[in-house]
């Protein structure tokens, strides 16, 4: 069964670029949305040019600047952290990428609430990335962490939690190639 693939940082909505309701103007802010957008584009360009480590360094600095400007519980911060997770995965560090995705997922829940469609998409992205974690990279432990967080957010009977649980269970079963063969004498 083929599972859908999700973009690394979800759907960027018009609200992402909107000015705050307080009426602050770009001159009031140290990092206006246009600058944030330009810096994210730069991170993407650098990553596309096969320089993911440089892109990750740019994203780290952007994360620090966005967090200082908007705070931890802001969608701009969440989206930059999801980009950091995506970049880690590009550099074949799925465990770090998943840690960023799970962190961003928990921030999304705090900001948007557990029923928001972006939270569902973020959960699915985390699940998709977890499935890419190599077995030797502690996939079982990371899957248990994903299952715990997804259960807290979506409930024990949700589709995504059932999928995670089934996948974790299948990882604990010996495969047909490694199962001991019985001698039939």
23 vs 172, residue with greater confidence = 172
Contact 146, 127 (CB under 8 A): yes
- How many Å apart are CA 9 and CA 19, to the nearest integer? 20
Q: Is the pLDDT of residue 1 over 80?
A: no
Residue with tokens 């993407």: 44
Pair of tokens at residue 26: 């770009």
pLDDT on residue 24: 46
User: Which residues lie below 8 Å from residue 34, measured CB to CB, with a gap of 6+?
Assistant: 17, 26
Residue with tokens 């190639």: 177
Domains and CATH numbers, the chain: 14-20+28-124 (1.25.40.10)
pLDDT on residue 143: 93
Please report which confidence band the pLDDT of residue 16 belongs to, taking 50, 70 and 90 as the band edges. Answer: low
Q: Is the pLDDT of residue 8 over 60?
A: no
**Half-sphere CA count of 168, side-chain side, radius 13 A:** 17
58 vs 171, residue with greater confidence = 58
pLDDT on residue 25: 44
Please report which confidence band the pLDDT of residue 122 belongs to, taking 50, 70 and 90 as the band edges. Answer: very high
Please report which confidence band the pLDDT of residue 33 belongs to, taking 50, 70 and 90 as the band edges. Answer: confident
């Amino acid at each position: 069964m083929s599972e859908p693939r999700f973009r690394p940082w979800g759907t960027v909505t018009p609200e992402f670029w909107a000015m705050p309701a307080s009426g602050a103007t770009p001159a009031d802010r140290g990092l206006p949305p246009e600058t944030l957008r330009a810096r994210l584009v730069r991170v993407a360009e650098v990553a596309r040019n096969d320089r993911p480590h440089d892109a990750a360094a740019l994203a780290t600095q952007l994360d620090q600047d966005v967090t200082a400007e908007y705070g931890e519980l802001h969608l701009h911060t969440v989206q930059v952290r999801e980009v950091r997770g995506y970049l880690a995965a590009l550099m074949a560090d799925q465990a770090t990428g998943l840690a960023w995705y799970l962190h961003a997922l928990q921030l999304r829940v705090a900001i948007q609430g557990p029923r928001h469609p972006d939270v569902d998409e973020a959960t699915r992205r985390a699940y998709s990335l977890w499935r890419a974690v190599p077995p030797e990279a502690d996939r079982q432990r990371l899957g248990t962490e994903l299952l715990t967080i997804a259960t807290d957010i979506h409930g024990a009977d949700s589709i995504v939690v059932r999928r995670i649980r089934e996948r974790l269970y299948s990882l604990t079963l010996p495969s047909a190639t490694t199962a001991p063969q019985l001698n039939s004498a």
